[in-house]
Structure 1
Amino acid sequence: MTSETNRPVRIGVQIAPQHSTYSEIRDTLTQLEELGVDIAFNWDHFYPLSGDPEGLHFEGWSMLAAWAEQTSTIEFGPLVTCNTYRNPDLLADMARTVDHISAKNPGAEGRLIFGIGSGWFERDYDEYGYEFGTVGQRLDALAEAMPRIESRWSKLTPPPTRKIPVLIGGGGEKKTLRIVAKHADIWHSFADTETLERKLVILRAHCDEIGRDFNEIEISTGTRPHTEDGFDETDLDAQLALGATLFTLGITGPGLDVSPVKDLLAWRDAKNA
């Protein structure tokens, strides 16, 4: 399986909003934009996902509004927002507003990528009073929310500055990938190469079933350095050959080390030359 879209390779960096002061996060975002990273992501949780569970942590959408104002070229968004933390119509309005904040000049397009998933981190639900339910219930809620979000975007005044790209995260083969086929511009997973190949076959089948062009969906994958020497470019090349074109590295505090990002950008530039 190979990509038929001729999309350029893009690099995303997820700045985990944990174990860092906000000034450190802000400065790191500036570095990423200056380095030429394509997309900066955060996440939509209320507590750290690793390290000290009571460590520093910040709310995601408030941060994205600040990122929209701070930056001028880089795209950005949540990887991913949790569907069931907010009313879908409100969430659509929030995204539209952040989209407009990021458009720096009259008539310019915004830079928000709307990443969304069904949610999974039970502590968030318990501490903030949301009903956790089952995996199936949360996926059903996401399937019900997406048409509402899309409909609300069509009703808002002013409307979004562009067709806001929708990124859906998750690898569930029966429900998640069907939602991706129906609604996503980008599908994101953290699959290894073998798993990615299998899931792409399933995603293509869902697209065929509903009459969606599979090649309209950008394939996004999480990546990380494999050794102290850096990334396994053989693995990156293999996923690129399968059709992945967006590769995202996660960084977290304390420290927010951006040095691995430079290696990924060098690989991107060589592939896009």
Structure 2
Amino acid sequence: MSNGIREAARPDRPLRIAVQLAPEHARYSTIRDAVARLEDMGVDVLFNWDHFFPLTGDRDGLHFEAWTMVAAWAEQTSRVEFGSLVSCNSYRNANLQADMARTIDHISARDGGQGRFIFGTGAGWFERDYDEYGFEFGTPGSRLNALARDMPVIEQRWAKLNPPPTRRIPVLIGGGGVRKTLRIVAEHADIWHSFSSPEVLAEKLQVLRMHADAVGRDVSEIEVSVELRRASDADADALLDLGATFFTIGLRGPEYDFEKVARWLRWRDERSRG
């Protein structure tokens, strides 16, 4: 692209497909089997989400907690990276989050290698989670201010822990707010995740570039992640042309659509060869 947006992705960055397994309406044995199948299929990253209740269907239906689940995935899997898309910063002390992330990082390491945990984080938004579990909901602004306050604390704790993380744990920040969220992304994220269309992504990448310039950071260091949802191949190709290299697919239980995943894995492999 002549406007230089394509620079937002490093030319040597691999194209990746992630699957978010919503931890709702399925027994854990079903989720565990799905994790094994998706890793065998060749998915690059597996995510859950960090809520306490289902977001669709029966709002009091089956549901499981995020961090304990990804700790189990750390032990179960051997190749995929994984995490929550995204963990809610409001629910846990910042130092504790850092320690949990470091521990899961070590659990996931194999044969002296590096861990595979991705620290996804965001400001939170689902009011029922806060009300029923006794957390202060606040406002979008106050929750984003807390995320901006806590990210340096998390990074500093990683530098103090013994043993330290096995690698520099990748930070994924979700959200698209142009004034606060993208500023936090520019300062702290290795991966930025959004639900953008090609048109919206083009606009927000320009804003992200401005924030990166303001904090003295090379925007090409930030991997661009986009949720595919109902995207066509043409939509995904347009997002790829804009610099996205990390594409996520949401699956909801109890019956997971593995063919949808297979389709996008074929797309990944075709574009990677091209």
Q: Deviation digits for residues 229-257 of structure 1, max 9, x if unmatched? A: xxx11110000000000000000112012
Quote the Cα distance in structure 2 between the aligned partners of 1:47 and 1:105.
37
Give the match for residue 63 of structure 1: 69
Task: Give the secondary-structure state (helix, strand or coil) at the position aligned to 2:125.
Answer: coil
Q: One-letter code of the match for 1:85?
A: Y
Identity within the alignment, %? 62
Give the match for residue 81 of structure 1: 87
Give the match for residue 2 of structure 1: 6
Give the match for residue 178 of structure 1: 183
Q: Deviation digits for residues 89-108 of structure 1, max 9, x if unmatched? A: 000000000000000222x1
Give 1:2 shift: 1.3
Correspondence 1:84-163 to 2 at 5 A: 84-106=90-112, 108-163=113-168
Task: Give the secondary-structure state (helix, strand or coil) at the position aligned to 2:6.
Answer: coil
The ranges of structure 1 where at least 4 consecutive aligned residues each deviate by more than 2 angstroms after the TM superposition are none
Q: Calculate the TM-score normalised by the size of structure 1.
A: 0.97
In structure 1, the gaps of 5 or more residues are 227-231
Quote the Cα distance in structure 2 between the aligned partners of 1:129 and 1:33.
36
8 Å Cα contact 2:114-2:166 kept in structure 1 = yes
8 Å Cα contact 2:30-2:254 kept in structure 1 = no
Give the match for residue 54 of structure 2: 48
Quote the Cα distance in structure 1 between the aligned partners of 2:229 and 2:207.
25
Q: One-letter code of the match for 2:137?
A: F
Give 1:15 shift: 0.2
Give the match for residue 264 of structure 1: 264
Give 1:124 shift: 0.2
Q: One-letter code of the match for 2:133?
A: Y
Aligned length: 267
Task: Give the secondary-structure state (helix, strand or coil) at the position aligned to 1:2.
Answer: helix
Quote the Cα distance in structure 2 between the aligned partners of 1:66 and 1:201.
39
C-alpha RMSD over aligned residues:
0.8
Q: One-letter code of the match for 2:6?
A: T
Give 1:225 shift: 3.7
Q: One-letter code of the match for 1:168?
A: I
Give the match for residue 229 of structure 1: none
Give the match for residue 245 of structure 1: 245
